[in-house]
Amino acid sequence: MPKKRRIRRTRRTVARNRTSNKFSLVIKNLILFFILFVASLIFYSLSVHEIYINLFLLLSILFGFVTLAFIIVFFIFLVLRLIKK
């Protein structure tokens, strides 16, 4: 008869501050994409050539939407934090 193998069960560590880690990550990304959005708007207004104008316009639209998405996520985390307390 073959021996039965024992399976070791490892304990998984549960992060207690998952929401605060996510909250700080959202704030960092929000600040980063807002800075990129403002920089692309500044470069858009200062650029002279047509290709640079189109490039920085596209980048500003893209970074603007990403910034808006992070603002929405920030407010959702804020509401969840207020409801939790």
All structural domains of the chain with their residue ranges: 19-84
pLDDT, mean of residues 14-35: 83
The sign of the dihedral angle between the CA atoms of 67, 73, 76, 80 is negative
Range in 19-23, 46-50, 71-75, 81-85 the model is least confident about: 19-23
Three-state SS string across the chain, please?
CCCCCCCCCCCCCCCCCHHHHHHHHHHHHHHHHHHHHHHHHHHHHHCCCHHHHHHHHHHHHHHHHHHHHHHHHHHHHHHHHHHHC
Give the pLDDT confidence of 37-64 residue by residue, as tens digits: 999 999 999 999 999 999 999 999 999 9
Residue 16 reports pLDDT greater than 90: no
Tell me if the pTM is above 0.85: no
User: What local confidence, expressed as pLDDT, does residue 21 receive?
Assistant: 84
